[in-house]
Amino acid sequence: MKAEIITVGTELLIGSILNTNAKFLSERLIDLGVEVVRQVSVADDMNAIIKELNISMNEADLIFLCGGLGPTNDDLTREALAKFLNKKIYIDKDAKEKLVLRFEKINKKMTDNNIKQVSLIDGSKKLDNNWGLALGEVNDYNGKKIFLFPGPPKEFEPMVDAYLAQNIHENQKIIVRSLNVIGLGESLTEDRIRKLNLENKYISINTFAHFTQTEIKLIAKGEDYEYISNVMSNSIEKLYDEFKDHIYSDNNQSVEEVLVKRLRDKNLTISFAESITGGLLAASITDVAGSSKILSSSYVTYSNNSKIKNLGVKKETLDKYGAISEQTALEMARGLKNKTNSSVCVSTTGEAGPEPSETDIGNVYICIYFSEDNYQLKHFYFPGNRERVRNRTVSQVLSNLLYLINKE
């Protein structure tokens, strides 16, 4: 089954707002086993909308029109679809009554143009909007399904979650699961999956790279729920056997969420000595509820003097190897261990730019230190601007940390 997404709004084309709806809907469709073959944004123009509908009718089974259902004259999506279908628009009486009561309740005058938000196309299936005003709908046309959803994300997202699955898989049961893998990379993960020969007409398995982790997406479909449930369970069991310590989550939790939980479960504490990351690592941990149980200390040792004063890094080491070196990273982590006695101590040092100081931009050293005979010292090169280098360093540290903690 193939889908195309048409997002409507001149504001999308001129960059006034970010098109988060297309991303959100694509993710939900993929979860349901639907292939998204095209996304396009068009202005609030009837002819432009109809042109895209004609293209989509030749390419997709499911067509989604998102936005342009508001009360103003330039909200033309429903009118454009009605013209395309050669059908009339009517006012839904029940929705109109609710709309009038809503305005009365908030003691606000309802203008005439608000009424168009509770209109529908003849023969469509109404999708009630319990999160806003504009109705959604589904139209069956020439063997295709054409969906209308309002554009504001606070309305669009809950409506998609409420109505999508039941309207595209009417005669099929579907089960979707995700496994999250660290420490391997997408290409190696996929290669090992394909060698297991798990896919058949009831289940599909795909991988999606998220920088330092890979999501394995399993989608089982069929008319017999018990049967596809068994297929899913057997596939997941074999994947767990294959990837063992590399699987850290089965519900798309973030690495930092799982890391905090693992540290708490193992009664471990952690401290950070950050140079290049400047406190980002500690911030990512404290964003997770319950982190106060495991985070002991965090030092931002940006200057050489701070590294010497707070962590005991030797001046001779800095003079000989520089601040951005594996020797300095190790001494930072070792000094942090001596100072805090945390179960695990992490140091970062590197060159983020925009101008290089002592090495190439993107060179990063990290040290994850448990004890003098148990530590990981790694060098990475992350291309990109300052923000990208720092964020990628944080992601890499968190993934390496979680993998090592899982093995402890």
Q: Which domains does the chain have, with CATH numbers?
A: 2-166 (3.40.980.10), 173-249 (3.30.70.2860), 255-407 (3.90.950.20)
Q: Is the peptide bond before 354 cis (omega within 30 degrees of 0)?
A: yes
CA–CA distances in Å: residue 4 to residues 32, 41, 62: 14, 11, 6
Confidence tier at 377 by pLDDT (50, 70, 90): very high
Confidence of residue 211 (pLDDT cuts 50, 70, 90): confident
Rounded CA separation 183/87 (Å): 55
On the CB side of 134, how many CA atoms lie within 13 Å of its CA?
24
Mean pLDDT of the chain: 95
Residue 48 is inside which H or E element, if any? helix 46-57
pLDDT, tens digit, 9 for 90 and up, residues 39-49: 999 999 999 99
Q: What local confidence, expressed as pLDDT, does residue 325 receive?
A: 98
Q: Which whole number is the average pLDDT over 247-260?
A: 93
- Interval 169-194: pLDDT, tens: 767 788 889 999 998 999 999 999 99
Q: Collapsing DSSP states into helix, strand and coil, what is residue 195?
A: helix
The token pair that represents 52 in the structure block: 């895209």
What values do phi and psi take at 82, rounded to 5?
Answer: -60, -40
Helices (H), 266-385: 280-286, 304-311, 315-321, 326-340
The pLDDT of 11-20, averaged and rounded, is 94
Q: At what angle do helices 386-407 and 255-265 cross, to 10 degrees?
A: 30
- pLDDT of 210 higher than 90: no
DSSP H helical segments within 17-92, as ranges? 20-31, 46-57, 77-85
Tell me the average pLDDT across 220-242: 95
DSSP state letter for 237: H
Instruction: Say if residue 291's pLDDT is above 90.
Output: yes
Distance CA 197, CA 192 (A): 9
Burial class (CB in 10 A: 0-12, 13-18, 19+), 195: exposed
Distance CA 243, CA 199 (A): 17
pLDDT cut 90: percent of the chain above it? 86
pTM of the complete model beyond 0.85: no
How far apart (Å, rounded) are the C-alpha atoms in residues 155 and 208?
Answer: 27
Other Cβ atoms less than 10 A from the Cβ of 47: the count is: 12
| Mean pLDDT along residues 339-343 | 98
Helices then strands, counting H and E runs in the chain, come out as 14, 17
Amino acid residing at 395: S
| C-alpha to C-alpha distance for 124 and 136, rounded to whole angstroms | 10
Q: What is the per-residue pLDDT for 123?
A: 96
Calculated CA dihedral for residues 302, 305, 307, 313, nearest 10 degrees: 150
Q: Which of 1, 60, 67 is nearest to 29 (CA)?
A: 1
Residues composing the chain: 408
Alpha helical stretches, state H, 86-211: 93-105, 153-168, 186-196
Token pair, residue 98, equals 């609710």
> What's the pLDDT at 169?
76
Nearest to 151 by CA among 163, 160, 140: 160
Q: What is the mean pLDDT of residues 190-204?
A: 95
